[in-house]
A and B are shown apart, each in its own frame.
Chain A
Amino acid sequence: MKRILNRTRSQLLSIGVCAVIATSAGIAAFTDGGGARGSSAQYVVLANNDLGMHCMMRDFSHFMILPPFNTVQAVVIKRGNDPDVIDLSEGGDFTVEYSIPGNTHSTTKSNFWKYDEALLGVDLPPDVGLTGNGMSGEMTAHQHKWDVTGIPITPEDDAGRVNPYQMAKVSVYKEGTGLVAETQTVVPVSWELSCNVCHGDPGPGTNVELDVLRDHDRLHGTDLEASQPVFCAGCHSDPALGAPGQPGISSFSSAMHGAHADRLDDLPVDFGNDCYSCHPGRRAQCQRDIHSTLGMDCVSCHGTMADVGNPARTPWVDEPRCADCHSRPGFDFEQPGKLFRESIGHGGVSCFACHGSPHAITPATTETDNLQAVLHQGFAGIISDCTVCHTQQPDEPFFHKVDD
């Protein structure tokens, strides 16, 4: 489909609402044009990563916990007095594209594609992820949203920098019109899986991953060292990978968290947050949201490592819920049976569209995670300016629930 770039420029800006804000952090001045605020733009798109952080291995030659796999979700809204979410029902007239400027290829930055067949039994083309998607392309329309899964992004960009907060551009094109909306969102990824804190001695000739496999062989009578590369979820079920595991063997989450829960007192380094002993991390802050600003940490929502490793818990499914802490008369939070990242609310808009990704709930501590809100409403935080989607300030009070 040939797309014709046809950008409509706004002639008037509501200066009071659309005031330019330039902060010492270098957030850009807001100009007229594609941003929805105060403009005549017919559409607005809001996008976010589904989890707030995706972990991946730095080296796949020994074992794999997680592959390069990232997901971006987007909500496309037709602005108006009564805005409408553009989704699968009207998807045929629209194309939503994604790209990650400054990071266009991954094969040369990771040995995943060298070991993919040995680990997973699939020989993926270069720069193509497990769901067949690459570093740029088109998103898929669903009910209420669009998404792309399995983007095989690594933390290393095309200039050789290791940056866990690279940004994707999401562009919406309408048949016969061209470009109608754009936005930017963080595609978070880190290979800061810090097994090295305890496994292996520092110095030449050390191999952290081998130490891990040898410990597993010693403790559990396996022979993983001779079976490299090892797909951990081949035995330990992992819903994140759709891996059923083996009967009688604990889930990967239960095995890992359960095995290490009583070892936190032995940590040789104080990370300030014990979870960052293994999870990204001391440098790539997984939790960088309003909750962390208010003094909460991982344990506040997820519980202790022992809680997370509880064999009765289904990992990636039994997760914290906003309603566990938040309550407000007349407000709904997650939909029943669904997590924050899956839920919709006001006007059928996905919760993430206004609030950001899990672990980066706005206002985040990072400039990059706040960029989208600044782009659309001029300030960081929850998308709370009604005119982002409404062409006029509604008379009715705002409802924070699914039903209108």
Chain B
Amino acid sequence: MASMGDTRPALRFVSPTASRELALIAAIIIVSVIFASASPYFLTVNNLVQTMRAGLELAIISAGMTLVIIMGAIDVSVGGILAVSAIVIGKAYQAGLPVYIVTPAGLMVGTALGAFNGFITAKLKVPPIISTLGSMYIFSAIMFLVIGGAWISGLPGTLSPLINGWVGFVPAAALVIGAVYLLAWVVLRKLSFGSHIYAIGCDEHSARLVGINVDRTKIMTYALLGFLTGLAALLYVARLRNVEINIGTTIALEAIAATILGGTNIRGGVGSLLGTLLGVAFIRIMQNGLVLMGVSSLWETVIIGSLLIVVLTGDALRNRNNARAI
């Protein structure tokens, strides 16, 4: 035992989820070796950069999802937020509005829908999986009412340099992902807001007792996820230049899967942004590699689903064996 004068930080570089992060890195290396030996195209710069660009929206949304899940909550409606934001962005472009109006508008729509989720979860005391399932239905209905089953197409790619561009030897998409994760990390680890997110995830009752404004923290965290989803919608429109009717149908489950695979505890209180980013990379590399090998992409979902079950079972067993877990 150290004496009490000891104020050195204890091994800060070893995060509580380090073993999961290392396991994911190992898994990514293993599947990459398999894919590289099966397809000469896999390990080309072009393919890897394309894979990263295809993972841009998932990576951004998963960063926000990590914060929400650490808080002990969940949001299954991000696909709906993505769709409604993309439609507003598409309609605004069609109305001839310039990009410097459309961009803040898209971000504001996402933020507002996220805040709505936070509000109904916090104030109406509805379990988050139920409240966000409800809003998912509402957001989907809005989408169908507005676009009525047709695509919005022929949109401008004004923001596409953020996805396809290069800054020197660095793809712009990597810089966007880096900026989003840096922002999320600062919020989570360097501000009191992040401490409150962890505290609510650990024990909401004691968080209230020490005077944390739990409701406001919940609304702001959901709003931050909404903001990031709005950003993802802007990049979606810039990448595809249209809004498809099936936008966002799988992204909520993928973001939750990436977060849980990355070591964030589904019961809250523990989590890592680095793990989530590795989880996103793993999911997108699996999809890309299986396509290159000519395997049906259905197998990718089977593999991700099986891994999720293994991970969640492992977490449940560990919690059962830890008598001291509060």
Do A and B pair up? The answer is no
